[in-house]
């Protein structure tokens, strides 16, 4: 069954994460559409971490090195585009990923704020009981962070911080990114081909 996903990029450090995950999602044969949203804050971080020419969702897709067929799967939306399909629960998704998830976005989702498309799409995932995966990028946690995560966990979200999986071995940073992308797909219920050596006990 073909899958439709939302990849929402908020303004926290770690833009290699959505770049890599977007590439893996777009290359997946069972995924037919990826709705990509980059917040204003994320655009600023993109410039710092991926180069001054990277300023938005289309630039993130270009940085992921997608081929023509993979690029055709990506639908780019502005964060102010509240009439986008993913703003409504009547547009069915397999799941929604916020990566990286900033502390501000975490708080907005925990409080039910829907001022932007990222907030609205996250709220839709919660109310529709679709998988909502939050790659929270902050450390150390404050009590406010913990309380917001607690509320979101009770509401059905999955908190999936990008923590290195040291047990996969090796010093190649790409293996960590591959493993994290695999964990995201696991939480969305999508099987990932070519996962050898990325799980505990497998080599």
CATH of the domain at 135: 3.40.50.1950
Q: What is the C-alpha separation between 39 and 119, in angstroms, rounded? A: 10
Percent with pLDDT over 70 in the chain = 94
Determine, yes or no, domain membership for 199.
no
Is the distance from CB of 36 to CB of 57 less than 8 angstroms? Answer: yes
Determine, yes or no, domain membership for 153.
yes
Helical axes 16-27 vs 40-50, angle rounded to 10°: 100
Q: What is the pLDDT of residue 167?
A: 75
**DSSP string computed for 101-154:** E-HHHHHHHHHT--SSHHHHHHHHHHHHT--EEEEE--SSPPHHHHHHHHHHHH
Q: Which domain covers residue 75, as residue numbers?
A: 7-188
Does 202 have pLDDT greater than 70? no
Does 17 have pLDDT greater than 60? yes
Q: What is the pLDDT of residue 174?
A: 85
3-state DSSP assignment of residue 98 = strand
Q: What is the pLDDT of residue 197?
A: 55
Residue count of the chain, please give it: 203
CA atoms within 13 A on the CB side of 1: 8
pLDDT tens string 53-82: 887 888 888 888 888 999 999 999 999 999
Percent with pLDDT over 90 in the chain = 75
CA separation, residue 106 to residues 39, 61, 62, 99, 101 (Å): 14, 24, 27, 11, 7
pLDDT tens string 172-194: 888 889 889 999 999 999 987 65
Q: What is the C-alpha separation between 163 and 185, in angstroms, rounded? A: 16
Q: What is the pLDDT of residue 198?
A: 56
Q: What is the pLDDT of residue 12?
A: 96
Q: What is the C-alpha separation between 115 and 135, in angstroms, rounded? A: 20
Determine, yes or no, domain membership for 193.
no
pLDDT tens string 83-113: 999 999 999 999 999 999 999 999 999 999 9
| Closest C-alpha to 93, from 9, 182, 8 | 8
Stretch 114-121: mean pLDDT: 96
Total number of domains in the chain = 1
């Amino acid at each position: 069954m073909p899958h439709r996903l939302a990849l929402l990029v908020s303004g926290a450090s770690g833009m290699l994460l959505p770049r890599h995950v977007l590439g893996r999602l777009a290359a997946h044969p069972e995924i037919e559409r990826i709705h990509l949203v980059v917040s204003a804050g994320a655009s600023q971080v993109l410039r710092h971490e991926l180069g001054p020419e990277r300023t938005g969702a289309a630039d993130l897709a270009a940085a992921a090195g997608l081929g023509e067929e993979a690029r055709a799967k990506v639908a780019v939306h502005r964060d102010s585009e509240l009439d986008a399909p993913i703003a409504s629960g009547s547009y069915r998704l397999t799941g929604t990923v916020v990566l990286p998830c900033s502390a501000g976005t975490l708080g907005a989702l925990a409080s039910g704020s829907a001022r932007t498309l990222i907030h609205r799409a996250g709220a839709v995932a919660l109310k529709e009981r679709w998988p909502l995966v939050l790659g929270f990028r902050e450390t150390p946690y404050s009590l406010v962070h913990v309380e917001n995560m607690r509320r979101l966990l009770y509401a059905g979200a999955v908190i999936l911080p990008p923590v290195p999986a040291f047990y996969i071995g090796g010093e190649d940073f790409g293996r960590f990114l591959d493993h994290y992308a695999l964990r995201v797909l696991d939480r969305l219920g999508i099987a990932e081909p070519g996962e050898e050596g990325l799980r505990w006990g497998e080599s």
